Chains A and B, each alone.
Chain A
Amino acid sequence: MRVELIKRPQQSALFSAVSPFIALALTLVAGAIMFSLLGKSPLDALYYYFIDPLREVWSLHELAIKAAPLILIAVGLAVCYLSNNWNIGAEGQFIIGAMAGSILPIIFPDFQGWYVLPLMLLMGIAGGAAYGAIPALLKVRFNTNEILTSLMLVYVAQLFLDWMVRGPWRNPEGNNFPETRRFHVDAILPEILPSSGRANLGFVFAILAAIVVWFLVTRTLKGFEVRVLGSSPRAGRFAGFSAKKMVFFAFMLSGGLAGLAGISEVSGAIGQLRPVISPGYGFAAIIVAFLGRLNPLGIIASGLILALTYLGGEAAQISLGLSDKVVRVFQGMLLFFVLGCDTLIHYRVRLVGFGAKPAVEGA
């Protein structure tokens, strides 16, 4: 037996539109099965996972805090993926952006004023963009596979951060804990509504970025260039667009947005650098980008959904004693079903038997 995928001559517009919802439903069903196998009531577990975190205002603020980096990163990744550049290293660009932006409050704690925060944000963007430019340069100059290089640079960034906070940047008054000094007040990202919860300006950046990138992709010549080079590179060359410049544009845009997410996270939710500053936002954002169908506005919705799995994981851990690894399982299943649904919309499955079958028959 052999399984073949055969391209469908025409795709159903209806199913293309509902595909993310089918994937979500399938994830819920598979999740329910997993919970019952773990010996928990599936209904309870799904309740704690997906409903409980939405019942209180402070918890909605937490949702916004988790969604902000996911949306910011995913919006940049959407531009990458639309232009056929496979940046898997947003996690690393997030970390380097956070570190670049943290230079001011950590090394120059006496440099204070309202202008510190905007400078930090710009440095975060620059740091992420520069780190994203490395796989772009390798791809353009040496034709290396950007999936591998960008992914490997994630580990470089993670270990670099780890070393810095344990070594050169460790807080001198911190009792040897592996942390930097806490950021001074001018270096902290303001909260949106301090009276009701912790959500900070990072979420506003995320929404703004999504709208701006949506406009860029759908309404401008640059966005047209992204789509042409991504879908038919030869036609893009005929149009006079440069594929090499596009590699840099896509990687540096997504790196810059990941860097902005990184500096927003440390100057907002955390307030200092630690050995680990991201629960895998850079990887989860890949799921967000595809679940949002690479449409920046769709990504706002899918970013909120993925943020919910993080919160739900915490809630389920507290209420039901489930391992926090379940979160990763959920995210993995979601990506699996999204890609699976998309594949089956474009292709149909045919089973082919091995040669033994009589191929010529009398009718």
Chain B
Amino acid sequence: MGAQPGAAAANLLEVRGLTKIFGSLKACDHVDLTVRRGEIHALLGENGAGKSTLVKMLFGSLEPNAGEIFWDGQPVRIASPHAARKLGIGMVFQHFSLFDALTAAENIALSLDDDTPIATIAAKAQALSHSYGLPLDPYALVGDLSVGERQRIEIIRCLLQVPQLIILDEPTSVLTPQEADRLFETLDRLRAEGKSILYISHRLEEVKRMCDSATVLRHGKVVGHCDPRRETASSLARMMVGNDVQAVVREPAEGMDKAPVLLEVKKLSRAPATSFSIPLRDISLGVRAGEVIGIAGVAGNGQGEFFEAVSGEMAQADAASVRIRGKDAGRLSISERRRLGAAFVPEERLGHGAAPRMKLSENLLLSRHATDDKAFIGPGGTIRTGAVDAAAQRIIAAMDVRKSARDPEAAALSGGNLQKFIIGRELDRRPAVMVVNQPTWGVDAGAAAKIRQALIGLARAGSAVLVISQDLDELFEISDAIAVMHNGQLSKPLPIAEATFEKIGLLMGGAEPGHVEPAMEVA
């Protein structure tokens, strides 16, 4: 397609002094980046370091305030994603933009600029998918595909445009370890063909394993270029974070088998609410006082549905399917379950765990108005603003929530600080049962460590803690046992001493006979 190189320069992409300013925030501050031909270049950084902003400028969805981009030695201005594709830049986004109700081929056709017939696209897509070892049925409905398969559609969609540079944004965050391995083989093959890859990640081990060079960003600035194979994971982490992150300490729990079961899920089944949600099948699980149980699983395997059922956002028909502190809670509302001593933290912060346009003190009331009605609600249903405000400030201090105003709107906080507040809001109640979905999703390393430590602390003080997470490192760090959710079913919890990445990974991929994906072709 587009501009083909005349005399190929060694550097495919060179960026000098690229700057993007949002209001008073310098999201990217004089960023330099060089990607050579045929290399996998890692872009490392914590959440909010400016990785996404940089990549959006390279892909034409944001316009830089200053700086130059050289493509093949020529200065260029990339005004739109269309222009980027014409140059030969392709991108695979972290959040897929696919229509569930359409087939893979139809989804690919939507992104192409011309009117190629679907059959031609399907044939091309199939050929490509075979040659890169990414098995894919172009006529499958996207709604029926796993997350890994959806990612393949995105990758093939990108490859169909014959790009020179492929940008991958956090590609493994939604994959099982085995699926990730397969992706790495594809990337190897692309590199061997002389294509360049810009690989965005915060997983240091895979960067060390895959990438030829790396650029590290911190607070919008480049803090270093390095060869990740010569660094250690901890030296890379230090570059990203700026100092050593406090390690999470987990004392082994003792005498756990005698402790009372505070949260019990018994034979929980749930029909799918919509045609694209996952049915829950016969889930049983008990969490004892003092322990942290982790639930691993690839996104979209029923975790959201499970959380809704346990929290009471959706009540069950069978009252005994969820028991909190020995009482049947299956038919109770979320407020009634909270009154039994349970606390819940959903995955989505803005719009689910917190109302974005409301102040933090009001967001405190959001989950606490029923349990703390004596303290927060006065005669005639009036809100005791003084008491609510004092409690909000107490939580802000306890969790070290950083903010710009005394009581800002939830949307004004960074993801990590808002998550600290939301977790702190529940911890402040000292709940007997705590259920958390993705506690540190999109949270920077410092805040994540604090949140994990707080969850362990809550358990050791005698509460039952259930953590649903896609981040295996996190689960191994904090859990006493790990169960795996796959396709709406939950495995038996493996005690942490017996659990390995490989065992959990196999369960995450649905390790059961008859569910083996087509073998890959060898190049």
A interface residues, Cβ below 8 angstroms from B:
9-10, 219-222, 224, 227-228, 231-232, 234-240, 355, 359-363
Closest approach, in angstroms, between the C-beta of B336 and any C-beta of chain A?
A: 8
Contact assessment for B75 and A362 in the assembled complex, using a CB-CB cutoff below 8 Å = yes
Q: Which residues of A contact B365 (CB under 8 A)?
A: 221, 224
Given contact pairs A221-B383, A232-B355, A363-B68, A238 touches B366 in the complex (Cβ within 8 A): yes
Interface residue? B374 (CB, 8 A): no
Rounded to whole angstroms, the CA-CA distance of A228 and B474 in the bound complex is 32
Rounded to whole angstroms, the CA-CA distance of A236 and B344 in the bound complex is 14
Rounded to whole angstroms, the CA-CA distance of A222 and B369 in the bound complex is 11
Interface residue? B514 (CB, 8 A): no
Contact assessment for B76 and A9 in the assembled complex, using a CB-CB cutoff below 8 Å = no
Interface code B481-507, partner A: CB below 8 Å = 1, 0 otherwise? 000000000000000000000000000
Q: Which residues of A contact B429 (CB under 8 A)?
A: none
Interface residues of B in 307-340 (CB under 8 A from A): 311, 313, 333-335, 338
Q: Which residues of A contact B344 (CB under 8 A)?
A: 238
Contact assessment for B352 and A234 in the assembled complex, using a CB-CB cutoff below 8 Å = yes
Contact assessment for B357 and A231 in the assembled complex, using a CB-CB cutoff below 8 Å = yes
Closest approach, in angstroms, between the C-beta of A275 and any C-beta of chain B?
A: 42
B interface residues, Cβ below 8 angstroms from A:
2-3, 22-23, 68, 74-80, 82-83, 86-87, 311, 313, 333-335, 338, 344, 346, 348, 351-358, 362, 365-367, 369-370, 377, 380-383
Q: Which residues of B contact A240 (CB under 8 A)?
A: 333-335, 338, 369-370
10 A-B pairs with the lowest CB-CB distances in the bound complex, closest first = A240-B335, A359-B83, A363-B75, A232-B355, A235-B355, A220-B381, A360-B83, A239-B366, A240-B334, A234-B352
Given contact pairs A227-B358, A359-B80, A362-B74, A220 touches B380 in the complex (Cβ within 8 A): yes
Contact assessment for A220 and B352 in the assembled complex, using a CB-CB cutoff below 8 Å = no
16 sample A-B contacts, Cβ–Cβ < 8 Å, listed by A number:
A220-B383, A221-B377, A221-B381, A231-B355, A232-B351, A234-B352, A235-B351, A235-B366, A236-B355, A238-B346, A238-B367, A240-B334, A360-B2, A362-B75, A363-B76, A363-B77
Contact assessment for A231 and B358 in the assembled complex, using a CB-CB cutoff below 8 Å = yes
Q: Which residues of A contact B78 (CB under 8 A)?
A: 360
Rounded to whole angstroms, the CA-CA distance of A237 and B315 in the bound complex is 12
Contact assessment for B74 and A238 in the assembled complex, using a CB-CB cutoff below 8 Å = no
Q: Which residues of A contact B370 (CB under 8 A)?
A: 240
Contact assessment for B366 and A10 in the assembled complex, using a CB-CB cutoff below 8 Å = no
Rounded to whole angstroms, the CA-CA distance of A10 and B338 in the bound complex is 36
Q: In the complex, which residue of chain A has the Cβ closest to the Cβ of B339?
A: A240
Contact assessment for B383 and A219 in the assembled complex, using a CB-CB cutoff below 8 Å = yes
| One of B352, B377, B382 near A235 (C-beta < 8 A) | B352
Q: Which residues of A contact B3 (CB under 8 A)?
A: 360
Closest approach, in angstroms, between the C-beta of B342 and any C-beta of chain A?
A: 12
Closest approach, in angstroms, between the C-beta of B4 and any C-beta of chain A?
A: 13
Q: Which residues of A contact B334 (CB under 8 A)?
A: 237-240
Rounded to whole angstroms, the CA-CA distance of A96 and B83 in the bound complex is 60
| One of A219, A236, A359 near B79 (C-beta < 8 A) | A359
Q: Which residues of A contact B357 (CB under 8 A)?
A: 231-232
Closest approach, in angstroms, between the C-beta of B218 and any C-beta of chain A?
A: 23
| One of A228, A355, A359, A363 near B366 (C-beta < 8 A) | A228
| One of A222, A228, A234, A238 near B358 (C-beta < 8 A) | A228
Closest approach, in angstroms, between the C-beta of A241 and any C-beta of chain B?
A: 9
Q: Which residues of A contact B355 (CB under 8 A)?
A: 228, 231-232, 235-236
Closest approach, in angstroms, between the C-beta of A330 and any C-beta of chain B?
A: 32
Contact assessment for A234 and B366 in the assembled complex, using a CB-CB cutoff below 8 Å = no
Rounded to whole angstroms, the CA-CA distance of A236 and B334 in the bound complex is 11
Q: Which residues of A contact B74 (CB under 8 A)?
A: 362
